[in-house]
Amino acid sequence: MFCNFYFGGYSEFSELKISLKSYLQDVQITETDDKITVSYDGFTLFINEGGHGAMFASEDYSMELKYSCYIDIIASYTNWAYELMVFIGKVLSDIDGDCILELNDKPILLRKNDVITVDGKKLSGTVDFPFYGLGLDFQVGDIA
């Protein structure tokens, strides 16, 4: 399983690195000039500025997206979804701008104009996706 998380914001990549380090203290972080890799128990994140994915997502969702985050999920780790939502919630609390989270190419979370919309019905699980892990107010709706 995989996710793509594209987000905007006004911070520079160097500022994003500092922010991530401030609230990701119990995880392994590897960084280069143009990429940040964050390893959790249930997933690994690869964050970089720009790229084709962010450009195409910007066009698809009519948003200005600056960063691309590929998330490699370890599906055998049972708590990955909740931990992912906690991470996404921390990022959304710290940055401004629009964002889109796609799980296996299905959009499940959108923040546009400061409103977070979640769409779990595209997922075929028997248990509700743990969007409450965001720790933020959101609305349930359709993300096209």
Tokens representing 31 are 């960084």
Sign of CA dihedral 50, 55, 61, 62: positive
The pLDDT tens digits of the residues spanning 72-105 come to: 999 899 999 999 999 999 999 988 899 999 999 9
pLDDT at 115: 95
What's the rounded Cα separation, in Å, for the pair 88 and 3? 12
The pLDDT tens digits of the residues spanning 113-137 come to: 999 999 988 787 656 899 999 999 9
The pLDDT tens digits of the residues spanning 52-62 come to: 999 999 999 99
**CA distances in angstroms from 92 to 98, 114, 131, listed in the order given:** 9, 10, 13
Query: CA nearest 9: which of 66, 91, 68?
Result: 66
Q: Maximum distance among all alpha carbons in the chain? A: 41
Q: Is the pLDDT of residue 48 over 90?
A: yes
Instruction: Give the predicted TM-score (pTM) of the model.
Output: 0.92
Tokens representing 88 are 């996404």
